[in-house]
Chain A
């Protein structure tokens, strides 16, 4: 769903809807967005792969649950930006999280789940490490301007458009000890990719985080921000992915990607209702 109007409406709602009406508003608009055909079909096709043998009717209701969670997630994110309201946080894999904080530079690899932005803001506020978020830019100029205008303070965001320059910038940033946060579950735009397998089906993932980790010799920490209730999130940090250098670079990448896909698959299987992928993820799911 693109366009600045939706963002303006969401911001208006955050600043005007009483919390004791909010669940009704969320339920209504989640149902309204079921009319968004491409998004609904995309989610339902992905669900068919995640839950083999599932029926279309069951996936339709599951799709509603995905929309419901997405609505709360983006609302919580805007609420944080506008009102500095933070949700309850609980941590799983805290040892890994602390290892990431203590490392001299790391890649935080995450997925389109829960609130990526809210998680990054939490890091920026609680961590002594500098965090740099890398993301796909908004295509619409107005939307991009709106996001820049209403962005949270204290967080550097880089857009993955200027590939070579950005790669060098990020390499310097990681070497300086910062944490670079990247979404590594799907390929957006024309970026270099690596082959992968998710739920037994071939796919591709962005090559950037793996190449960066190898070049900077830093670990990759899979981190997932999972919404577990109203204003309540869980931060799951998995064991780090170390990219060892050998004579065969492709094998090195393949091992790292396989570990990443294992973590991602486990989380998506358990929290399918929070994997915000509104386009068919697998090529055959699009057919």
Chain B
């Protein structure tokens, strides 16, 4: 029986830039930062109140998994905002929206009442988009 999710993967175009975005702008905590071969490291972060679910910031760079052509395809798809990997929640979406905006996070959608709660959409530095949600 599966009991928990421990790791989720977000593909990013540049790990240093992703570190800055997820840690300094979103306020996530670094859980693991370990070397992983040339040009890459095993970098995981988590929202401050959920350290047990590690978000792996996985670099799209040439490797046994990503041949050159795959890197190009993945990069194009990420840049144009194809992937929306996750939904985050918060205690107060209006305050969180204002704070993240002040920190330089780009929003595609301001907090909006929907039938499932209040939702905003923001982009990371690579082009991945996320839902920020607060249930009413």
Q: Do A and B come from one complex?
A: no
